[in-house]
Every structure is written in C-alpha cells, then in structure tokens.
C-alpha cells in the first residue's frame, strides 16, 4: 500500500531510479504520505528515529559508511529546524543528504495554523539546491516536479557532493492509501565533467614542482582512499614533497608526516625559513590543527595550490595563487609521470623533526599522572586494528591527534562544523551499517548533549562508547582566553557532576568505569574482549585541573626540546 499523493509516488520512483534506497524517517502526520509510500515498498530500507536532530546525524553517519546518498524524512514545523545542524555538517563535509520535508500548503503559512513555519529555502546556506514542489497534481505540475527532483538528485552527487532539500507541501487528506505500483518516470542524467586539465596546464604544473625545493602537501579530512594514497606516495618519491596529515586524513604510509601540533610547537620561531614551503598544495577537508594555520599564515609560501573538483577558493592560509579544478588522485598521477626526481632534504628535515617530537611525547606521557592525555594513550594501545574510531569534537579529537594513530584503523569526526551536538548520533549511524568494531570517544558534555543517539533500535553489538568524564568543558581551559575570564567556571567550563551510568543502563548498554591507570587498563581489557557481545559504554573519570596543567606542560616540554621531562 502506498499514498494516493501523486507527487509522493513520483518522488519515490525517482529515488529508486537513482539508487537511493536508505530512508531515515522521523514520525509525524504531515509526512505520512511519504512514510506510507517508502515503508510500503520493499526496495526501500526505512529506519525510524524519533528525534529529528539525532536522525539527521544518524543519516550522515550512514551515508559516510555506505558512501552513497541517504534520505531523511520529517513532518512540518520545527521538526525541519532540528535537521539544520546535521545539514550544515553534511554541507561542509560534502556528504549527499537528501532532505525531504513535509510542509503545509502555502496559503496557511503565517496564518496562525498549527505546525506552520516558513520552510521554503530554510537550509539555503547549507544545501547545493533547494526546491518546493507544486501543490497541485496536474500533468504540467508533475512534469515540473519531476524535473526539479531530478536536478536536485543529480547535484547531490555531482562535482563536490552535498545535501539537497526538497520541500513538499501537502493538503489533507493525508492518509489515503492505494494498492498500486509506482508510476513510470523519466530520469534526467547529468554527464560530463569540467575537471580535465590540458596537456599544457599539466606540463606547467609539473615544471613548477620540479623547480620547487620545499614542497608541502597538506591533506585534510578524507575517507580511506587507497588509490589516492598510492598516487601521493609516488609523487613524494619523485618530488621530495613533504605530506603533512592528521589521523582524519586516513593516510597511512610512513613516508608521510604526522604529529602536527607537536611538530609546530618544536619548530623554533628564529628559523622559520627551514620549514617555510616554496609551494603549498592542499586538498581534502579541514585540518584540526590551529598551529599549522598560524605557522603558514605567518610564513607564507610563494605559491599555494588548492585542489578541488568543485573549484572552491579556500584561501585558509591567505596565500592562495591557484585553484585546480580536479580530484587530487588524478592530478598526482599525472604529475608523477612528468616530473624529474628531486632531492628530499625538506622531507627529511620534517621527518627528523617528527621522530624527535614523538620521542619527546612518549617520554612525557610515560612520566605523567593519570589524566586525559594518559587515558588516551592507554585507549590507543587497546583499540583493535581493522576497526573504526569516531572522535568527539573539542578536547577528544585534539588528544587523539597528539598520540600515534592506531594501525589499520579508519578515523572519522564531524569536522565540517566541529560541533559537539551530533558526534554520537553520527557514530551510531555509521556503526549500524558497519561490519567492523566502532569506537566513539567523546567528552561528557558531548555525550549528554547527544544522548538521544541511543534512543533507537539500531544499536549493534559492534558499538563501543568511551566517555571521557572530565567534569565539564575542558577545551576552554586548554585554549587561550576563556580560562582567564571571571566567567570561566560558571559559563565556559560548565561543571558537570552527572554520570553516564544511568543512561547506559536505560538504553541497555553494558557499563564500565575507570578512575585511574590500573582500572582503565582492566576495563579496556573487558571492553574489547571477544566475550563482550553487546554494545558497551566505558566512563573514564579524570580531574579537570590536572588535565589542563598537563596539557600545557606537554607543549612547553616539546618546545624546550629537553631530553628529560622535569628538567
């Protein structure tokens, strides 16, 4: 049984033609024609999540795991606004969410009618395109709607992918059903690409690389892409370029350089020329490190190329000279074929510095008391290979990036907007589609803020949640400014004394806790044991004042470049 609404029938048929079959639904009345139609067709895989904010982040994680578009469906009114945080995150992470919002007819908007708000173009700053379908169902109106839907679905996955919004005004009656097949539909394909480079352009780029002695390639957030990594390794071998990356770039080769924040802290201000690049090449999403941004803005390269299929002009380091509208793998392969081998002095200089700061980090962590930095090292050592790690924003992602990455592990984090509001929901959505063990590490405020992520029936045995309970928003003690404010304790740090145990038990998760090194080591052994056959939550309690002091001491120690902590 499907809805009698012709627009909904046509929408469902077009989604199927485009291979979009994953639907995340939040219950409502105005969206019942969509609910009845999608759930009434076996080809769709429908999931029900009541909280719209969590539902949208869940869908984002699901789209990441499946590497294909996912549709979200909600009713009219404020339900649509609850999608907004995840829509913004999807926009800045280039994730193709298909947003389907039910609406009241336009003649009821601003007329004191229930659940009516101005929904048309509600996400206009964070979608590639948004349309409102016609209310009527005449042949011409259905033709127009079909074209609008096709254009939106094509744009979601073309060039730089991203979310699109289809707003659907619906009149009563809403619940009439019919036993029928979906109507035949004509799809409009989008083909062709403007991302190809001429031989002259490629030769010119290759010549510039061959003439540059200090080439720095910054890899932002990326999904695991083996062919891209292979192309990048080959380019490094020939050009001597240094590739700097974070865990979230999901690059693994040992020829690349990590430990960005510690690396930047150890580079002395008096000799920036040794590390200042002649040519900077950037690609991928955002980097977490503020230190690398500050260094490159102060020590600008002569040239900065940004690689982007969508042609975005990201001038993050205030030195952009060229936007290359192509995907990174293709360009790296083409350049490797044309450049002559060069010296590796710049790469070796950075690699030597990385080795040194990692030695200092290991020495420092081996001699500190129990705190967040210590806890993250113990956790890192326990995470199984061939698994997935999701990092919460604020302090968790920063602590994780200080430590060595876990071999064979893929890393994800909502760094599009870097909010704490949907970290857990995104991880839950990803894990629901994953065959691997999925660990999400987040702070206590992030956990409580997004605890509705556990309010659904898609929590699998492969989910592990680690809550770093440091009593509040430790990030505000780690960064300059808020910690010096008279309002720090009350309005920045926001002390939290509530524990996660009650919520874990309410949602049917096994609960473990740790308050020191030994307890954490023992708890992690149980947490990742093959005998642990259902989702579990581990709450790690640390002291905020100790965390902040140790974090600051770590960077002072790296800057001092001394051989022994405490000297």
**Six-digit token string for 112:** 């004191």
How does DSSP assign 177-204, residue by residue? EE--PPPP---------S----HHHHHH
8 A C-beta contact, residue 58 and residue 49:
yes
d(CA 555, CA 289): 14
Q: What does the DSSP 8-state code read for residue 14?
A: H
- Strand, coil or helix: what is 445? helix
φ and ψ at 538, to 5 degrees? -115, 120
State pLDDT tens for residues 371-388.
999 999 999 999 999 999
pLDDT at residue 267, rounded to an integer: 86
How does DSSP assign 26-73, residue by residue? ---STTHHHHHHHHTSTTSEEEE-S-HHHHHHHHHHHHHHHTS-EEEE
8 A C-beta contact, residue 89 and residue 419:
yes
Q: What is the CA radius of gyration of the chain?
A: 25
pLDDT at residue 485, rounded to an integer: 76
pLDDT at residue 112, rounded to an integer: 80
State pLDDT tens for residues 195-210.
678 899 999 999 999 9
Q: Among the residues of 73-211, which ranges form H helices? A: 78-82, 84-93, 139-157, 199-211
- Strand, coil or helix: what is 541? strand
Please state whether the predicted TM-score (pTM) of the whole model is above 0.75: yes
Angle (CA) 452-56-40 rounded to 5° is 100
Extended beta strands in 273-403, E state: 279-283, 303-307, 322-324, 388-391
Q: What does the DSSP 8-state code read for residue 257?
A: B
pLDDT at residue 493, rounded to an integer: 65
Query: Which pairing describes strands 242-245 and 177-178: parallel, antiparallel, or unpaired?
Result: unpaired
Low-confidence residues of the chain, pLDDT below 70?
192-195, 268-270, 474-484, 489-491, 493, 562-567
pLDDT at residue 567, rounded to an integer: 44
Q: Domains in the chain, start-ordered, CATH in brackets? A: 2-178 (3.40.50.970), 199-353 (3.40.50.1220), 367-560 (3.40.50.970)
Q: Among the residues of 493-543, which ranges form H helices? A: 501-506, 517-527
């Amino acid at each position: 049984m499907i809805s009698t609404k012709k627009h909904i029938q046509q929408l469902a048929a077009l989604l199927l033609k485009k291979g979009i079959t994953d639907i995340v639904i939040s219950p409502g009345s105005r969206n019942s024609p969509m609910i009845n139609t999608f759930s009434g067709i076996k080809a769709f895989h429908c999931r029900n999540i009541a909280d719209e904010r969590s539902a949208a982040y869940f869908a984002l994680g699901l789209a990441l795991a499946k590497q294909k578009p996912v549709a979200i469906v909600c009713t009219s009114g404020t339900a649509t606004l609850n999608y907004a945080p995840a829509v913004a995150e999807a926009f800045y992470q280039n994730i193709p969410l298909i947003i389907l919002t039910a609406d009241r007819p336009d003649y009821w908007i601003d007329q004191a009618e229930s659940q009516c708000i101005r929904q048309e173009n509600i996400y206009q700053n964070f979608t590639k395109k948004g349309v409102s379908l016609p209310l009527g169902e005449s042949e011409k109106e259905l033709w127009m709607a079909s074209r609008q839907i096709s254009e939106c679905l094509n744009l979601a996955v073309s060039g730089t992918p991203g979310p699109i919004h289809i707003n659907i005004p619906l009149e009563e009656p809403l619940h009439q059903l019919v036993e029928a097949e979906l109507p035949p539909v004509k799809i409009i394909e989008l083909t062709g690409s403007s991302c190809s480079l001429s031989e002259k352009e490629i030769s010119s780029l290759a010549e510039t690389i061959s003439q540059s002695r200090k080439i720095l390639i910054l890899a932002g957030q990326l999904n695991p892409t083996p062919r891209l990594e292979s192309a990048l390794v080959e380019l490094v071998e020939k050009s001597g370029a240094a590739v700097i990356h974070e865990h979230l770039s999901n690059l693994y080769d040992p020829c690349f350089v990590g430990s960005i924040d510690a690396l930047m802290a150890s580079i002395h201000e008096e000799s920036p020329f040794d590390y200042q690049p002649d040519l900077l090449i950037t690609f991928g999403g955002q980097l977490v490190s503020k230190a690398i941004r500050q260094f490159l803005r102060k020590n600008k390269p002569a040239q900065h190329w940004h690689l982007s299929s969508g042609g975005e002009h990201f001038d993050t380091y205030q030195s952009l000279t060229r936007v290359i509208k192509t995907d990174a793998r293709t360009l790296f392969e083409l350049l490797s074929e044309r450049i002559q081998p060069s010296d590796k002095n710049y790469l070796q200089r950075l690699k030597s510095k990385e080795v040194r700061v990692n030695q200092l980090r290991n020495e420092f962590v081996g001699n500190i008391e129990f705190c967040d930095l210590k806890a993250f090292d113990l956790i890192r050592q326990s995470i199984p290979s061939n698994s997935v790690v999701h990092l919460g924003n604020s302090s968790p992602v920063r602590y994780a990036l200080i430590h060595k990455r876990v071999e064979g592990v893929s890393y994800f984090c909502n760094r599009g907007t870097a909010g704490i509001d949907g970290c857990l929901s995104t991880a839950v959505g990803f894990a629901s589609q994953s065959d691997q063990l999925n660990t999400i590490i987040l702070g206590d405020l992030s956990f409580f803020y997004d605890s509705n992520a556990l309010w659904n029936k898609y929590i699998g045995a492969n989910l592990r949640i680690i809550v770093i309970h440091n009593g509040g928003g430790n990030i505000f003690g780690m960064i300059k400014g808020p910690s010096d404010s008279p309002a720090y304790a009350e309005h920045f740090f926001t002390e939290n004394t509530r524990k996660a145990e009650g919520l874990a038990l309410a949602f049917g998760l096994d609960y473990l806790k740790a308050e020191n090194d030994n307890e954490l080591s023992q708890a992690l052994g149980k947490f990742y044991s093959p005998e642990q056959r259902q989702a579990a939550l581990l709450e790690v309690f640390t002291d905020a004042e100790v965390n902040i002091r140790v974090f600051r001491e770590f960077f002072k120690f790296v800057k001092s470049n001394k051989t022994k902590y405490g000297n």
